[in-house]
Structure 1
Amino acid sequence: MISRRHPFPHWVRHFGVTDAAGSATGTIGKYLTEALLKSGKHAVTALTRAESPAKFPEGVQAATVNYNDENSLIEALKGQQFLIITMHTRAPADAQSKIIRAAAKAGVPYVMTNHYGPDSRNEQLMKDIIIGTHVAETAREAESLGLIHIDLSCGFWYEFSLVGDKDRYGFNLVDNSVTFFDDGKAQINTSTLDHCGRAVAALLSLPILPADEHDDSTTLSKYFNNTVYISSFLVSQREMYESVKRATGTSDEDWKISFESSVERYKAAVEALPKGEHSAFVRLLYTRVFFKNGDGNFEAKHGLANGTLGLPKEDFDATTKAGIDAWKSGELEPY
């Protein structure tokens, strides 16, 4: 149905992208922004702090805001049809809530919340990785304010996580060592940063609503207050390891391999976190999706929107090599 509030069944054109301790030039924001611009269908406005050193791609309009001044946020968001929130994990805890409240007052109808990761609909998983409560609260707040929200569950970012350190996918590429969780064979969904960008651009190029009651084509409304599931690869640590060896021209003899129970590793990280070990959060976050119960394989439960969005199939080995090369050159710097 075409409602009074959403009267036109064409795609979304005007976007606001936040940079609250992240940015339209940050890890995920950069790729989302570039893909939106490349489509040629979208006008992108980046909300940026006055003190931010960020430089935006040509075609992006910058709007300077103060995240502690709601009026500045409201003014920047007026006229935007869709708000994409991208924030660093170290952003203030209430930053997303401030943006959502301002968006509602500015009349923005749609928002993509700051969840680019595991299955947001898996309640136990989200509870175990701590962020679940915040994700659920954000969704409830958006809905209570009359906003329509969409989550993107893409798994962890593949190249970012691979070259990070052992707290992520278990690899240390500096000393050629890897820790396999359990036997290293649990498969998880993971996506490249480019894949996420293409997915969002394709999603937001869909018609917002069906043209009429006879139109059964996919529209953005299919994902209203729901989750879009995408994935580049369904792979295990073992498969990543073999790909890394091919990309680096190394063999088993060049690597130091260790094994650790995923359950025990997760429990140890949970216990270490309140003691001030900040890396424990990353460790518990990543380890939990590798549990043998299949929680990291969300495509088995929900399927993927890859085909619906026309996303290309990616080359696993080429992606592995590109990620390692970007890390070596300093282009990709996991925080």
Structure 2
Amino acid sequence: MASKSNYIQNVTLIGGSGSIGSHILTHLLTNPNQKITVLTRSTSTATFPPSPNLLIKKVDYTNEQDLISALQGTHFLIITLSARAPPTLHPTIVRAAGKAKIPYIMPNHYGFGLGARAGGLANEPTLAAFKTYIADVEREEEMSYVVLVCSFWYEFSLGMGEEWFGFDIPGRRVVFYDEGVQRVCTTTWERCGRAVAGLLGLPVEREGQRGEVGYVLSDFKNKGVYVKSFLVSQREMLDSLHRVLGTADADWQIEYQGSGERHAQGLEEWGRGEAKGFAKAMYARVFFESGEGDYATGGEMHDGVLGLPSEDLDEATRRAVGMVEGGFGVKKQLE
């Protein structure tokens, strides 16, 4: 740490106007003792909330020296990138962060468990990018990663379309994986933002006796911070939609498809260059009855450590419905 303080003081965020990045920024700005820098492309027209603790820097991501200069003095770097970002961008940022001597980085890994807690998902081809993000950091000396393990984003996944959580909300149609009762972890964007802010509000190192109670940031060096909003099945999601929309099963077209069959189908479509096949395969795999989509049962969770409140499923569903009614969905996202 460049600072003598035992708390993170200088945070840099890449992707602060994006879906998860904007929520992270909102909650980081609630800490008056932190200076937040948001890096944006030199051509970006994104706007950000006014705050005396917020600095916006426009950078040329193809110019390493420009990037290194913008990252100087950062204690913790958060990377949030679009799925459409070029694959060279993440390693470029991490290399520049290494040269800027940044001690902590949250890579663009917002997904599933690490190591043994990944289970069979560790070898899933649609999730392979997560491993490369961590490998980017591991190649840098004197830099530690902290991964936010949050699984699929709830509102996004419910609203995007049938290839994601299985729901076509405007068309009142759902495809249940197997019987639709397999529960998986899922997290709202709001909770992700709160989690990152809570994490960066912890002391960096444990002061006093080694046995002192309480978590510190360094406890999460090269590990995951595990959070979730809900452990929920597709059946429970549909019941929530009924409560929000005032519908019943009779108002929906309900279909069933084996998760294994759907996974194979998605991989085949992805291999043909169909973008939706990627989502179909990835989501179907997480809903396998082998249960890897549930990292909460039997595993340590950190929601309480970070002071995260409980959430209401129907409220989150209502937000997803509002997004869809506002035009959100696969067609818009893939344009």
The separation in 2 between residues aligned to 1:330 and 1:278, in whole angstroms, is 19
Q: Match of 1:190? A: 186
> For 1:286 and 1:13, how far apart are their aligned partners in 2?
37
CA distance in 1, matches of 2:279, 2:204: 36
* Cα distance, 1:40–1:328 mapped onto 2, change above 3 Å: farther
Contact 1:207 1:219 (C-alpha < 8 Å) held by counterparts: yes
| 1:302-321 deviation line (CA, Å, top 9, x unaligned) | 22101111100001112211
Name the count of aligned residue pairs: 326
Kept in 1, the 8 Å contact 2:108–2:133? The answer is no
Deviation of 1:124 (Å)? 2.9
Q: Deviations over 1:109-128 (max 9, x none)?
A: 10000011222431530321
Structure 1 residue matching 2:108: 3-state secondary structure: strand
Task: Indicate the residue corresponding to 2:203 in structure 1.
Answer: 207
Deviations 1:193-243 (A, max 9, x none): 000000000011000000133433210111100001100000000000000
Tell me if structure 1 keeps the 8 A contact 2:169–2:324.
no
Residue 26 in 1 paired to residue 18 in 2?
yes
Task: Tell me which residue corresponds to 1:236.
Answer: 233
Alpha-carbon RMSD across the aligned residues, in angstroms, is 1.7
Residue 48 of structure 2: aligned partner:
56
CA contact (8 A) 2:105 2:144 kept: yes
Look up the match of 1:17.
13
Counterpart position of 1:104: 98
Within-5 A mapping of 1:1-335: 8=4, 10-18=6-14, 23-59=15-51, 60-121=54-115, 122=118, 124-132=120-128, 134-145=129-140, 146-214=142-210, 215-330=212-327, 335=333
Q: Name the stretch that deviates more: 297-306 or 93-102.
A: 297-306
Distance 1:9 1:302 in 2: 32
| d(CA) in 2 for partners of 1:41, 1:262 | 47
The answer as to whether partners of 1:129 and 1:288 remain within 8 angstroms in 2 is no
Report the Cα distance in structure 2 between the residues aligned to 1:45 and 1:312, rounded to whole angstroms: 27
The CA deviation at 1:141 is 3.2
Q: Partners of 2:33 and 2:283 in 1: how far apart?
A: 36
Instruction: Please tell me whether the aligned partners of residues 289 and 296 of structure 1 are also in contact (alpha carbons under 8 angstroms).
Output: yes
Distance 2:290 2:57 in 1: 45
Report the Cα distance in structure 1 between the residues aligned to 2:327 and 2:6, rounded to whole angstroms: 40
Residue type of the alignment partner of 1:30:
S
Structure 1 unmatched runs, 5+: none
Q: 1:332 to 1:260 in 2, by over 3 A?
A: closer
How far has the Cα of 1:277 moved from its partner? Answer: 1.1
Deviates more, 1:165-174 or 1:266-275: 266-275
Identify the range of structure 1 (140-149 vs 121-130) with the bigger mean alpha-carbon deviation: 121-130
1:284 offset after TM fit, Å? 1.0
Percent identity between the aligned chains?
Answer: 36
Q: Which range moves more in the overlay, 118-127 or 39-48?
A: 118-127
CA contact (8 A) 1:323 1:332 kept: no
Distance 1:301 1:139 in 2: 24
Q: 1:332 to 1:76 in 2, by over 3 A?
A: farther
Cα distance in 1 for partners of 2:78, 2:3 equals 21
**Does the 8 Å contact 1:155/1:190 carry over to 2?**
yes
Q: How far apart, CA to CA, are the structure 2 residues paired with 1:262 and 1:83?
A: 37
Deviation at 1:8, TM superposition (A): 4.3
TM-score normalised according to structure 2 size: 0.93
Q: Please tell me the residue identity of whatever aligns with 2:261.
A: E
The answer to whether the Cα contact below 8 Å between 2:182 and 2:289 also exists between their aligned partners in 1 is yes
Separation in 2 of the partners of 1:317 and 1:256? 21
5+ residue gaps, structure 2? none
